[in-house]
């Protein structure tokens, strides 16, 4: 990961904590990963190796989970830091305008 990409990821994670009103910190590690420490939870976010079909690996309490995008990383991060947060998913389906 380039230095610019690391800086962008660091800022995204930091601003996400602020937006979620979660007190915590985001730190860079020497190997290109980010450590998020908040609500007594330590979360490691690292780029996946090139031979894997996903882009990120998120480690929470020793459990490693893949994430295909930064959106997936943020979803996992939010779920770990705020267990009471209810995720909302939008589903679009074809249906008649008037019920039959």
Q: pLDDT value at position 80?
A: 92
Cα R_g (the chain), whole angstroms: 16
Q: For the chain, which residues make up each domain, given as ranges?
A: 3-81
Has residue 97 got a pLDDT over 70? no
Q: What angle do CA 80, 86, 89 make, to 5 degrees?
A: 110
Q: What is the pLDDT of residues 12-46, one digit of tens each?
A: 999 999 999 999 999 999 888 999 999 889 999 99
Is-contact 76 17, C-beta < 8 A?
Answer: no
Cα distance between residue 95 and residue 26, in whole Å: 44
Give which of 54, 1, 56 is closest to 31, Cα–Cα: 1
pLDDT digits (tens, 9 = 90+) for 44-93: 999 988 888 889 999 998 899 999 999 999 999 999 998 777 766 666 66
């Amino acid at each position: 990961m380039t230095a610019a990409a690391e800086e962008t990821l660091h800022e995204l994670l930091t601003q996400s904590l602020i937006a979620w009103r979660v007190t915590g910190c985001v730190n860079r590690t020497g190997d290109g990963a980010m450590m998020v420490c908040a609500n007594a939870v330590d979360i490691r976010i690292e780029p996946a190796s090139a031979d894997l079909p996903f882009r990120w690996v998120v480690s929470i309490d020793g459990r490693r989970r893949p994430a295909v995008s930064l959106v997936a990383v943020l979803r996992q991060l939010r779920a770990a830091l705020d267990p009471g947060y209810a995720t909302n998913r939008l589903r679009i389906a074809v249906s008649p305008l008037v019920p039959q």
